[in-house]
Amino acid sequence: MASTRRRRAGRPAARKGKKHVHSFAPGQAEGGAGDRDLLGGKGANLAEMCRLGLPVPPGFTLSTEVCAHYYANGRRYPAGLEREVEEALTRLERALGKRFGDPANPLLVSVRSGARVSMPGMMDTVLNLGLNDQTVAGLAQRSGNPRFAWDAYRRFVQMYGDVVLGIEGEAEDDFDPFARALEELKRRRGVSGDTQLGAEDLQELVATFKGIVARHAGREFPSDPREQLWGAIGAVFGSWENDRAVAYRQMNGIPSAWGTAVSVVAMVFGNLGPRSGTGVAFTRDPATGEKRFYGEFLMNAQGEDVVAGIRTPEPIARLAEVEPKAWRELQRIQKTLERHFRDMQDLEFTIEDGKLWMLQCRTGKRTGFAAVRIATDLVRERRITREEALLRVDPEALNQLLQPIFAPADVRRARAEGRLLTKGLNAGPGAASGEIVFSAERALERAARARVILVRIETSPEDIRGMQAAAGILTARGGMTSHAALVARQMGRVCVAGAGELAIDYRKRTLAVNGRTLREGEPLSLDGSSGEVFAGELATEPSEVLSVLFGGGQGVKGPVWRAYSELLRWADAARTLGVRANADQADQAETALAFGAEGIGLCRTEHMFFEGSKIDAVREMILADTTEERARALARLLPLQRADFTALFRAMGPFPVTIRTLDPPLHEFLPHEEHEISFLARDMGVSFERLKAKVESLAELNPMLGHRGCRLGITFPEITRTQARALFEAACEVARATGKAPRPEVMIPLVATPRELALQAAEVRAVAAQVFAEQGREVPYLVGTMIELPRAALVAGELAREAEFFSFGTNDLTQTTYGISRDDGAKFIPLYIAHEIFAADPFARLDREGTGRLMRIACEEGRAARAGLKLGICGEHGGDPSSIEFCQALGLDYVSCSPYRVPIARLAAAQAALRAKAALSAPRPRARRR
Ligand code: PEP
Ligand code: MG
């Protein structure tokens, strides 16, 4: 690691607000890995690799502050930038003994984007910059390889035309005019590969490409290298605001204010001849996390060929045979980098005439499987601590481990039926079936109604929204590090890449493979773990983790299970928040327990009502005209509810079970179609007209703010009494049968005033006393309330005199704080996020300033009124990592979420606790001396 002294000496001076351009060369650099906010991830790591003395082509980075200035000042650069770039260029020229624009010995550069966090393929890059009709001759002469020089030149015109001058394909076949001209020339020459074109052919192609530029851009191709350079710098800064970068930022919560840096790097060439090449590699397998150097390379190619998936590369291990010296050095470097960064690295390299150059290194994107496995392996290898391992895994990534796989029996059947179409690369694990779509737009359109599989020849960054909408992605071209593979892994999408046997016709919307043709809309199945592609749908079954958790001892405890269970064990030891689940049925409770829940934080009793014959009794209760009629219906309901609660208490054993009294508007339980009303009328022995009139009388204009929550229990106390009786009788029964008392916590919903709570709590306590007297046993229980209304939060001190616990119902609390209907907000919330009015959907991620402020008031005033008041959350936010972090800060006792999010919440809670601990022990900023 670079010494602190060197680090300080080399730290960029931009903090003074002056320096915008930071140079780097092997052995020395202005800045390093700690400067990613300023230099972007790429610039910072290029500098860091230089500090480590690794072979990096020299260059310089224009900081993210330039980007911020550029956008804040009508796309103008800060004063003095031009001079700084000139000075950096001069340094570069001196270091390499070449000159920019020198016809005899030209310096060529690449211009690369690099934000603080990697945004793979979303922004632009220009390679081979500095070529023109004069310098191409110098390059040809110096390299002794005119073909290479003209190839570099034609690539440059094409890339510059696309990225800087905005010339793209219009047709749906994705062929841009440059690619079309290249294909046309190959056809005329009767050759199939680009490499079969000679120097003269490529020279002709450059002329054709320049003609395309003149036609499409209405201007000549710029021949002055400085004009080229500033054009490229402007385009790369400009690409921060392109559609795909904006979409990517929105999906990943990256603020637009961060901006990108631009790195200008001396070119090294992987297409100089048979002893040159380029590749990408990971220090561990990014799909499975296995500890093996993993990647691919292409000889005689430029990096873009690999990343764009245009040619299918060779596995990295082959490099040992092809270029043994470069291979040995790469091995040494990959180990150095992983040791230095203490994490799996993603490397980009080029071999120029047998010499290895490192072009990039960054923390590698990985699947959820790999994330968990790498983190736990690194602990075992003593590279990182358990705490670091816990903080390294994105809790959401655990989702992938909990996804189903295809049922092996169904896979065997599909194979026997000849439905195995082909095999590609297993780029994104998991199993997905869905209908075929051939474009991102179509994927977005259909995904609202069906699961879709996006099938593309290759994907490009324009496709990301469609990829996000799809259940799976299949490509015909490209390797494990192609765009499709990288992005799919990051999104957690199932992906099979580079299935070369597929013939995809975008115009006809068909996919032909091994004599079969499938059309858009037909079902297709992808096994992202084996790379197999099947016609039709396949049944799924639990993943390794699910099979161990739910397989009744039959599950196989492989490496995924071992890593998962180890990480979650550490999480449980680190966290201070309890994790409960929202569950209404015994089977859900069992699932939640298997996932590690420590109680039920919310049982929505109304969900129990929709089962079997219960709904009839419920409807009768609601439609009853007299108290006697209602009592009859409730008497029918009582044993049914009691049985439900008994099952729930049995399943949960010693863990607390929070049971909420009836909450939703009664209208939700009623039939609305005429034929349903008429059936029910017959069953109840009342006339159709009478029942219809009753249903209509219960309709409300705004039911979510209407007759619901505790208002029902206040109007019809017999409902609360019946529910209380059912649950206390069930608790006594389970206590008797098992010898262990369950721990019910009765929760009153939608309370706004202390008196509402007092009345409902009194009903519950009276019933409890009655039941205990009847049964001759007592079961400890709590009565508490939900905090779902701003008023409740504001009078929490008074509520806490009655309530033994609070549970934040943040779905309703968000709804009532914002005045946005939770059922209708989806119409405009995405737009609000796009306009940065909201940083995120407040129904998914807790709004800390508004809703959160109310919660804070409730916590503080509640606990001030009642020491030891139990605090929890049961809104959807209880399973969201960012919201969990806030709950930790509020000092809640537990979070409660849906069963499948319990593992995610356990890890998120551990992270929250660790971050809180780190913040406490961090040195406080010293007061400024006066
Ligand atoms: C809530 O409002 O956050 C809550 C948990 O209750 P429900 O979603 O049932 O309204
Ligand atoms: Mg609610």
794-819 pLDDT, tens digit each: 999 999 999 999 999 999 999 999 99
pLDDT of residue 890: 98
pLDDT of residue 611: 64
Which of the ligands is closest to the CA of residue 811? 1
For ligand 1, whether the C-beta of 238 sits within 6 Å is no
For ligand 1, whether the C-beta of 788 sits within 6 Å is yes
Up-side HSE of residue 847: CA atoms within 13 Å toward CB? Answer: 20
Neighbours of 436 (CB within 10 A): 22
Active site residues: 483, 874
For ligand 1, whether the C-beta of 874 sits within 6 Å is yes
pLDDT, mean of residues 564-573: 98
Q: What is the DSSP letter of 520?
A: T
Asked if residue 913 lies in contact with residue 576, where contact means CB atoms within 8 angstroms, the answer is yes
pLDDT of residue 710: 98
How far apart CA 2 and CA 27 sit, in angstroms, is: 10
Residue 580 CA to ligand 2 centre (angstroms): 17
How far apart CA 801 and CA 778 sit, in angstroms, is: 23
Which atom of ligand 1 is least distant from the CA of 809? 3
pLDDT higher at 162 or 306: 162
Residue 252: band (very low, low, confident or very high) from pLDDT cuts 50, 70, 90: confident
For ligand 1, whether the C-beta of 811 sits within 6 Å is yes
pLDDT of residue 409: 82
Asked if residue 569 lies in contact with residue 909, where contact means CB atoms within 8 angstroms, the answer is no
768 alpha-carbon distance from chain centroid: 47
Residue 255 has pLDDT above 70, yes or no: yes
104-135 pLDDT, tens digit each: 999 999 999 999 988 877 888 999 999 999 99
pLDDT, mean of residues 853-868: 98
Give ion ligand 2 contacts, CB < 5 A.
788, 809, 812
Which atom of ligand 1 is least distant from the CA of 810? 3
55-69 pLDDT, tens digit each: 999 999 999 999 999
Which of 659, 788, 823, 896, when mutated, tests ligand 1's pocket best, judged by the most ligand atoms within 8 Å of its CB? 788
Please provide the average confidence, as pLDDT, over all residues in the chain.
Answer: 90
Most confident of 546-550, 717-721, 822-826: 717-721
pTM of the model: 0.81
Q: Which residue, judged by its Cα, is nearest atom 8 of ligand 1? A: 811
pLDDT higher at 496 or 171: 496
What's the sign of the alpha-carbon dihedral 748, 749, 753, 755? negative
Residue 477 has pLDDT above 90, yes or no: no
pLDDT of residue 619: 86
Among residues 872, 851, 748, 852, which one has the least CA distance to residue 802? 748
Of 135-149, 348-362, 610-624, which gets the smallest average pLDDT? 610-624
> DSSP 3-state assignment of 631?
helix
Asked if residue 299 lies in contact with residue 277, where contact means CB atoms within 8 angstroms, the answer is yes
Residue 19 has pLDDT above 70, yes or no: yes
Q: Which residue, judged by its Cα, is nearest atom 1 of ligand 1? A: 809
Q: What is the DSSP letter of 457?
A: S
Which atom of ligand 1 is least distant from the CA of 604? 9
Place of tokens 């946005």: 820
pLDDT of residue 539: 87
Type of residue found at 309: G
pLDDT of residue 928: 44
pLDDT of residue 757: 98
- pLDDT cut 90: percent of the chain above it: 69
> Where on the phi/psi map is residue 708: left (φ > 0), alpha (ψ -120 to 50), or beta?
beta
β-strand partners of 517? 512
Residue 739 CA to ligand 1 centre (angstroms): 33
876 alpha-carbon distance from chain centroid: 18
pLDDT, mean of residues 774-781: 98
Residue 129 CA to ligand 1 centre (angstroms): 58
For ligand 1, whether the C-beta of 809 sits within 6 Å is yes
pLDDT of residue 303: 66
pLDDT of residue 311: 65
pLDDT of residue 720: 96
Q: Which residue, judged by its Cα, is nearest atom 9 of ligand 1? A: 604
Which atom of ligand 1 is least distant from the CA of 788? 2
Of 290-299, 588-597, 603-612, 902-911, which gets the smallest average pLDDT? 603-612
pLDDT, mean of residues 355-361: 96
Which atom of ligand 1 is least distant from the CA of 807? 5
Residue 305: band (very low, low, confident or very high) from pLDDT cuts 50, 70, 90: low
Which of the ligands is closest to the CA of residue 662? 1
Residue 13 has pLDDT above 70, yes or no: no
734-763 pLDDT, tens digit each: 999 999 999 999 999 999 999 999 999 999
Which of the ligands is closest to the CA of residue 606? 1
- Pair type for strands 277-282 and 345-352: antiparallel
For ligand 1, whether the C-beta of 750 sits within 6 Å is no
- pLDDT cut 70: percent of the chain above it: 94
For ligand 1, whether the C-beta of 713 sits within 6 Å is no
How far apart CA 469 and CA 187 sit, in angstroms, is: 38
Type of residue found at 33: A
pLDDT, mean of residues 450-474: 88
pLDDT of residue 9: 37
Residue 15 has pLDDT above 50, yes or no: no
pLDDT higher at 848 or 480: 848
pLDDT, mean of residues 34-52: 96
For ligand 1, whether the C-beta of 810 sits within 6 Å is yes
pLDDT of residue 244: 84
Q: Which residue, judged by its Cα, is nearest atom 6 of ligand 1? A: 809
Q: Give the DSSP per-residue string, 161-205.
A: HHHTT-----STT---HHHHHHHHHHHHHT-SSGGG--HHHHHHH
Cα–Cα–Cα angle for 462, 464, 466, rounded to 5 degrees: 100
